[in-house]
Amino acid sequence: MRVSKDTSRLLIILRQDAARLADRIITREKEYLHILSMKRTREHFNAVFRSNFKTITVQQLMLLSEELIINLEDFYNTIDDMHWYLVHTEDMPATIEDRVHAMVRDVKNKYDQLNLYLNAELETHEESDVA
């Protein structure tokens, strides 16, 4: 029963973290690109890409299904690649905007898929707690 409660809590933390992160990346796209273009600063990206996922331990991840772990890695690696690009690119603003727009679409797709796995696994753990 204790492992199931811990797993449920971990799933909720991951679901909330992914939701906040995806929301910032998707809904604030124009804003953070505008700041980059107008002010030529990249400092704001630390706030945009802030996540609790990096603090999750291997032991905690071992409580999750293989499919969910794969989807978590895929989602967070996509975001990490986007963050790296934005912090290190020397591309012109129009090129950045085009690439980021495509990356945001990819983040949204990966988030939607991850959310399906998170919710399914959370429902499974909630059902086992009731039984």
Q: Please report, in tens digits, the pLDDT of each residue of the chain (131 residues total).
A: 345 888 999 999 999 999 999 999 999 999 999 999 898 889 999 999 999 999 999 999 999 999 999 999 999 999 999 999 999 999 998 999 999 999 999 999 999 999 999 999 998 876 665 55
pTM over 0.95: no
Distance (Å, rounded) from C-alpha 117 to C-alpha 106? Answer: 17
Contacts 24+ apart (CB under 8 A), 57-65: 60/6, 60/10, 63/3, 63/6, 63/7, 63/10, 64/7, 64/10, 64/11, 64/121, 65/117, 65/121
